[in-house]
Chains A and B, each alone.
Chain A
Amino acid sequence: MRKLFSVLGKIYRYLWLIITSPVWLPFWCIGWLSEKIGLSNWIADATMGSGAYLVYKNLTRKPLRLFLTVFATFIAFLIFGTITAFQVAFDSGVELSADDRLVTVNKINFTQPLPISYVNKVKAVEGVSGVVHMNWFGGYYQDPRQQVLTFAVDQEAMLDVYDEIIITEEEASSWKQNRQGIIVGKSIADTHGWKVGDRIPLSSNIFSQRDGNSTWEFDVEAVYTGADAQTDTNGVYIHYKYFNETQSFGGDYIGWMGVRTTDTNLNEQVIKAIDDMFINSPFETETVPEKAFNKAFLEQIGDIGLILGSVVVAAFFIILVIVGNSMVLSVRERTGEIGVMKTLGFKSMRIFRMVLGESLLVALVGGGLGILASYGVTGMINSVPNPLPTLVLNSNVITTAFAYVAALGLITGIIPAVSALRLNIITALTRT
């Protein structure tokens, strides 16, 4: 029986080695090679004087523990990078809103319509440089589960008011001339494989045509990109006139207006002028800056920032405990060695710095790799067709991530570093 357990133990050990070989084998090969060509000795010579070599050797004395600690940190920062990219993408709807753009909706709520006659009246307001009216089409492609953000718009004003939509002059001209023409965002085009020249059916889950058919045929005239990497390119814009003429109900009403002002300083004045104009009418309006409108819209879904932030905080808390515990253990095991170093004349502060250096290095390697991997993950998400906004790890996210790396390194290292700092030599030597 004992023999059987011994054999099983060996099999388990070797199996474990084989299974984990993709992780350790590259490092082992690098180590072996650098040893052979004398690189490791050269590095040791170069870093011994500063004490960095001691930090490195202390860290690598238990490779499995090091790997697991770095891996835990890696996962935390992978989660952080990816989730923050999502958060930034959601926030970008607000962040990228133009300061000189307003949104006018029905005062009751934005699902209630406004008469189309309002458009010309708003255009005449002093300080307004452009107005585009929009209707929510409630579109989907082939299957109601494949929602498409479709808007019926005034094609003549659309590209002037929303100048972050980038298409060529020729494409714009073709779109304006073809009443069945549509422009589609790159992201949604990639999702469904649409390209310029395609004729595609889009159905509405709200409207139907006069013949009872709820599917419209459209020609793709352009695939637009965004002025900013984070500009949402999931939208589809159709001609309002074509939509209005073919729909069976609700004609001559619009959903809302996008209003561009000549100067952001005039925003307040324009807002007041528009809303005062329609006061006490059956369709009173509420005009707000686009930023405020988008923010309020997103908040209806829920506090995304809070939800995503909670996930990140939970991940970090767990990592803090794991890495902190690992660091405390690793320093406690070396109590005697720290005592010997102090006996040899190493000052307590130098040992403090070395221990802190270890935790910072773990955080830097794990965190750095995690951030790098989140680049890969967001890139992969962006590269496959999906209805999500474009995920971008901007410099703010990277800076924040590295601030967290430093904080993680300091927090997890401070307790063992202080213990090492305060360690009494005699106590340390008696423990050996």
Chain B
Amino acid sequence: MTNRTLYDLRAVEKSFVKGKERITVFSDLNMSIAEGDFLAIMGPSGSGKTTLLNLLGGVDQPTGGEVWFDDARVDTLSENELAQWRANNIGFIFQFYNLMPMLNAARNVELPLLLTNLSKKQRKQSVDTALELVGLADRAKHMPSEMSGGQQQRVAVARAIISDPKLLLCDEPTGDLDRKTADEILEMLQLLNREFGKTIVMVTHDPEAAKYAKRTLHLDKGEFVEKDLAS
């Protein structure tokens, strides 16, 4: 982990209008994520974990405050600019894998590369490397329906890292897996963090999963408390 700040949330506000009621999720959220960090975010349902992840991933915009990523402001980007920004900088890992059911593992992993200018050959090389990294080189031609949950999540990890993003956002990445498989996935994330320097933010309900992170933030009613697991 370096001292360089990758992500900076400054006085972020987020509220929704539901019917006639305005629901405030964050009123003054400040947060910094250093480059190379592995951060777990925990908290009860409705605490704002997913909203925070959506804000970090640029799939949702704050209603107030500023969001800075890599010394550039993100909250002012247009929808198209945000899409491009996500493609360049963020890798997503979902709880239910969210693979395309009609594409095999290799094609699923290749998807983010369709947004780049890489040639067919370069894309294939990248896909092979990513699948090898997650230990699924021999499953490249398999369809998601032919793979176990753990294998599907590995494919999702390969898809998330294929375009070499700076930040990996994981939404309950082990929520649908058994303990053993969950540990394998978490070890893989840890490896990506330690060996490849990937910054990771992981939302989880599972304290065991949070142990793999370098630090954990507990979120409650839109506010969080930082606890250093190492201490």
Contacts and interface: CB of A to CB of B under 8 A. Distances in A.
A336 B100 CA distance: 10
Given A336-B98, A337-B100, A432-B96, A48 B57 contact: no
B92 interface: yes
B33 interface: no
A337 to B, nearest CB: 6
A278 B80 CA distance: 80
A266 interface: no
B60 interface: yes
Contacts of A349: 80
A331 to B, nearest CB: 14
A48 to B, nearest CB: 7
B31 to A, nearest CB: 20
Interface in B59-98: 59-60, 79-80, 83-88, 92, 94, 96, 98
A54 B80 CA distance: 21
Main secondary structure of the interface of B (DSSP, over half): helix
A341 B98 CA distance: 10
Nearest to B82: A345
Which bracket fits the contact residues of B?
A: 20 to 34
A277 interface: no
B87 A345 contact: yes
B115 interface: yes
Contacts of B60: 425-426
Contacts of B149: none
Contacts of A60: 102
B114 A51 contact: yes
Contacts of B96: 432
Interface string A46-73: 1011010110011011000000000000
Contact of B87 (A44, A45, A46, A344): A344
A411 interface: no
A348 B83 contact: yes
A345 B115 contact: yes
B115 A343 contact: no
A432 B101 CA distance: 13
A98 to B, nearest CB: 60
Interface in A15-53: 44-46, 48-49, 51, 53
Nearest to A349: B80
B54 A342 contact: no
B112 A344 contact: yes
Contacts of A342: 59, 83
Nearest to B81: A347
A347 B83 contact: yes
Contact of B86 (A54, A61, A343): A343
B106 to A, nearest CB: 10
Contact of B115 (A337, A346, A432): A346
B198 interface: no
Interface of B: 54, 57, 59-60, 79-80, 83-88, 92, 94, 96, 98, 100-103, 107, 110-112, 114-115, 120, 123-124, 159
14 contacts: A48-B107, A48-B120, A49-B120, A49-B123, A54-B100, A54-B103, A60-B102, A343-B59, A344-B86, A344-B111, A344-B115, A345-B83, A345-B115, A346-B83
Interface of A: 44-46, 48-49, 51, 53-54, 57-58, 60-61, 336-337, 340-349, 425-426, 429, 432
Given A343-B92, A425-B59, A426-B59, 14 more contacts: A44-B107, A45-B120, A48-B123, A49-B114, A53-B107, A61-B101, A337-B98, A337-B100, A342-B59, A345-B85, A345-B86, A345-B88, A425-B60, A432-B98
